[in-house]
Amino acid sequence: MAWSQVNSSEISSTNSTTNITNSEELLRTLNDKLALRYLPVIIYMFLLIFTGLFGNVLVIIVYVRKKMKSSLHYFIINLAVLDLLTVVIGMPTEIADLRYSVMFYAPAACKALRTVESLSTMGSIVTLMAVAIDRYNRICKYGKQMTTEKAKRICIVAIVIGSVTCWPAAIVFGKKTKDVGIPGISGVDCSTDDSMKGTKYPLVYYGLLFLYFVVCVVFFTIIYTKIVLFIRKQKKKGNISANLYRKKTKEPTSLSVETSFSDIEKDQTNGKNKQKHKHPADCVHQKLEEKNTTHKIQASKTTLMLGIVTVVFVLSFLPFLTVMVIRNIVKNFEDMLSESAEVFYKFCLKSYFINNSVNPIIYSFMNIQFRRDVRKLFSKQTR
């Protein structure tokens, strides 16, 4: 009887071990199959890591090395640091989640990933708001500039706000048990935590994020629209002033006054000096006009560059927030997707990572001084 019990126990144990082994093998096979399906998204994430790591480190080095820093430089450094945080911590964990989409047995890493992403996002939003206000004051308030000390404080406040507001992510996200379509087998994913199932917290969380997103879009739209309208208005005024000035300078002036402000040019053909007479007002007006024009062009280019950074930030979050709200409203949303739709859905979930990697590219294309500083940096390294 005892022997029979032992044999039964051994057989039961063997069957159980076999079942567990088979279950793990099936889950591993499914996991590998899904990893292959998500390969385009994984490659996309690796490209973002390479671009974001190299680009943001370069931005930090270039702007930290500047001896004379403006408020804008501190804001750009702050954005690069926050982006680098996501690139170094967030993106590799996302790749691990894609590779082990039904076997992600690291809930602590999942919570850390979402928390860091939330911190970076909130901190970047506060920084971009400060940038928009600074641009508005510089252009629409006739050169009113934010002090570097104030810019430093705002950067610190942005990180503090990000740290304070990121805690819900650590609660909402974590280990999610997934039905993989095989009886008796369940997968594990880094998503909305199982403890949140059946509660309204995830919907409230994404609803608040979406509301925050809309408020930010309205804020950026109002500020940059005001800047654009002001620049257009100033251009019209400049054209009118230039026309009035040209009419006034057509009036005759005395030769004695003209010659006192004469410019001497060397005649290359006969070696003789020729006098080129100018009205004194011409000299003053020309210098002021050149200086104002240069300043306005630089301010406009910088504003355009930062406006594009802001637009990219907003657009990169739109697909993510949209699918997350839909997922929490529509029941079994992911189960209804085809394979191609599922891949597109994964791209949407990772869309906001674009923002963390493309800012250095925007600076490179739109900031001549940044390109010069990068060339100087590499030329020093190669010596």
* CA separation for the pair 244, 242 (Å, rounded): 5
Judged against a pLDDT cut of 80, whether residue 220 lies above it is answered with yes
pLDDT band at 372 (very low <50, low <70, confident <90, very high): confident
* The pair of three-digit structure tokens given for residue 379, joined into one six-digit string: 């030329």
* CA separation for the pair 225, 222 (Å, rounded): 5
pLDDT: which is higher, 336 or 143:
336
Distances (CA, A) of 183 to 135, 175, 303: 59, 20, 58
Protein fold of 38-382: Rhopdopsin 7-helix transmembrane proteins (1.20.1070)
The answer to whether 131 and 72 are in contact (CB under 8 A) is yes
Judged against a pLDDT cut of 90, whether residue 57 lies above it is answered with yes
Judged against a pLDDT cut of 90, whether residue 155 lies above it is answered with yes
Give me the pLDDT at residue 113, please: 87
Lowest-pLDDT range, 53-67, 68-82, 296-310? 296-310
pLDDT: which is higher, 259 or 152:
152
For 136, residues 6+ apart whose C-beta sits below 8 A from its C-beta are 223, 226, 227
* The pair of three-digit structure tokens given for residue 227, joined into one six-digit string: 């800047």
* CA separation for the pair 178, 216 (Å, rounded): 34
Judged against a pLDDT cut of 90, whether residue 262 lies above it is answered with no
Q: What counts of helices (H) and strands (E) characterise the chain?
A: 13, 4
Judged against a pLDDT cut of 90, whether residue 152 lies above it is answered with yes
Rounded to 5 degrees, φ, ψ at 263 are: -110, 130
The answer to whether 129 and 160 are in contact (CB under 8 A) is no
* CA separation for the pair 41, 36 (Å, rounded): 10
Residue 103 DSSP symbol: B
Give which of 310, 290, 286 is closest to 298, Cα–Cα: 290
Q: How many CA atoms lie within 13 A of 141 on its CB side?
A: 10
Give me the pLDDT at residue 300, please: 67
Query: Environment class of residue 366 by beta-carbon count within 10 Å: exposed (0-12), middle (13-18) or buried (19+)?
Result: middle
Domain coordinates in residue numbering, the chain:
38-382
Side chain identity, residue 14: T
